[in-house]
Amino acid sequence: MSSEATATSTTPGVDQITADLKGTSLGGDGSQTNGATSINTNVSSADNPSDPEGSLQTPTSAAPSAANQPHSASLYVGELDPSVTEAMLFELFSQIGQVASIRVCRDAVTRRSLGYAYVNYNNIADGERALEELNYTLIKNRPCRIMWSQRDPALRKTGQGNVFIKNLDTAIDNKALHDTFAAFGNILSCKVAQDDQGNSKGYGFVHYETAEAASNAIKHVNGMLLNEKKVFVGHHIPKKDRQSKFEEMKANFTNVYVKNVQADVTDDEFRALFEKYGEITSASLARDPESGKSRGFGFVNFVNHEHAAAAVDALNDSEFKGQSLYVGRAQKKHEREEELRKQYEAARLEKASKYQGVNLYVKNLDDEVDDDKLREIFSPYGTITSAKVMRDSLSDSAESSEKEKNKENAKDSDKDGERDSSEDGKEKDSSKSDKRAGKSKGFGFVCFSSPDEATKAVTEMSGRMVHGKPLYVALAQKKDVRKSQVSIKFSFPLHSF
């Protein structure tokens, strides 16, 4: 950060921070880092000589300005544990003032908490106090995140005042990020992105009330050290704009990924293979750091896109030293994972739609019913494409113990002479076939060629006695659909009349 940079904000606090930040870096404990003093971002009264009693408040989001004053004192409370209920929130928020209403938002089907709630006070002053005193309070061992409820989505969608921060240290949570950026203006929302296990993903967002406050934060913090890591701070770009930019980048790629390369191919041979298609800035094969052997793939970067595209068209699926090469546009890991996920999802949906209305679920089957018998039972009602009785799979340990037991039995029988060798062999063969098949689980699936045939089979076979047991027959459903239906069935209490 340039030493000539000065704050242009009319806020005196920002001017003071600008003066303090000259030649310093954020984070740490006041030690020297690359010649710059690190500022300890952990708020503590003991570190502030002007506040020995600890009377100063940790920076928090102030109430909205008069122009954006909410019509009601409604607060958004996020990052909640799924087990948090309205009663728990009422116990906490009623300590501030009279609570008008509380609602934990839940899934319409499963009634499971979505992890956020709305708390409404009767007056704005109580809302302001709750925001200042309860923000990041632990609820079920998780710090809650409180902000004013924005009923109008226009402010969120425009992205004005929204700042994106990346390369964050994993130790920085919502509160630490809030405390660091609160000095530059009124914060509407502050969040560090987390994975399913609650670990930081290394980036976050701070939404200021004004664009001027966002610009001040970017100017003073971008490139600074936060907990010994240099952070990037910039204006948030909406996903739609990022996607269009990404598509443009894909259409003009210059970096090429190559795999299935023979292990004995040298870097010079690898480079010469691609140089005929245009000027290259770099070409390298990935090698094992210890042995130095080629790992069978590499990257080639061209000066312009046309040459890269020509190399991909000419060399993909071509033979090079006895190997069929794969040559394509180089992708980042997250992009490859996203493409694989989309392919898997498309294949899953295609498979589900293919068997929609024709696949039957049959349960309460007798142990004697196998695949052929199941097909025979349902064959009068149409053309069956598949019939399968589900069976237990034996573990390797169970199989090995059974083999040892058979060996011991065979030895005992040989010694005692109680069994004929041919009969013993037959029993072993039947035992092996039984192990391969496994014990029936009592249910299976029958797939017909058309929905009409499946419907007819359900009508005729449901409740019919087979081997002394009444069959249950219905259209097969996906696991998540069955779960949601069961949840709905048992979510409403039964009333006695």
**Distance of alpha carbon 346 from alpha carbon 348, whole angstroms:** 5
Cβ–Cβ < 8 Å for 168, 192? yes
Residue 391 in this model has a pLDDT that exceeds 80: yes
Amino acid at 375: R
82 backbone dihedrals φ, ψ, rounded to 5°: -60, -20
For residues 42, 44, 46, 51, the Cα torsion angle rounded to the nearest 10 degrees is 130
DSSP letters, 111-173, are: --EEEEEEEEESSHHHHHHHHHHHTT-EETTEE-EEEE----THHHHH-TTEEEEES--TT--
| Tokens of residue 147, six digits | 């902000």
| Tokens of residue 47, six digits | 């570190």
Residue 287 in this model has a pLDDT that exceeds 60: yes
Lowest mean pLDDT among 21-25, 157-161, 440-444: 21-25
What is the structure's pLDDT at 100? Answer: 92
Residue 466 in this model has a pLDDT that exceeds 50: yes
pLDDT tens profile 352-361: 777 778 889 9
Half-sphere exposure of 445 (CA within 13 A, CB side): 13
What is the structure's pLDDT at 2? Answer: 38
Q: What percent of the chain has pLDDT above 90?
A: 37
pLDDT tens profile 71-81: 468 999 998 99
Q: Report pTM.
A: 0.45
Which of the pair, 432 or 217, is modelled with greater confidence?
Answer: 217
Q: Quick one: residue 322, left, alpha or beta (phi over 0 = left, psi -120 to 50 = alpha)?
A: left
Cβ–Cβ < 8 Å for 310, 335? no
Secondary structure (3-state) at 284: strand
Q: How confident is the model at residue 404 (pLDDT cuts 50, 70, 90)?
A: low
Bridge-based pairing state of the strands 99-106 and 294-302: unpaired
Q: Looking at residues 403-412, what average pLDDT do you find?
A: 56
Secondary structure (3-state) at 66: helix
**Distance of alpha carbon 172 from alpha carbon 358, whole angstroms:** 53
Q: Extract long-range pairs of 248-252: CB within 8 Å, 24+ residues apart.
A: 250/329, 251/305, 252/305
Q: Degrees (nearest 5) of the Cα angle 157, 78, 206? A: 50
- Measured over the CA atoms of residue 356, residue 362, residue 363 and residue 368, the dihedral's sign is negative
Secondary structure (3-state) at 225: strand
Burial bucket for residue 345 (CB in 10 Å: 0-12, 13-18, 19+): exposed
pLDDT tens profile 146-177: 988 877 666 666 667 889 999 999 889 888 89
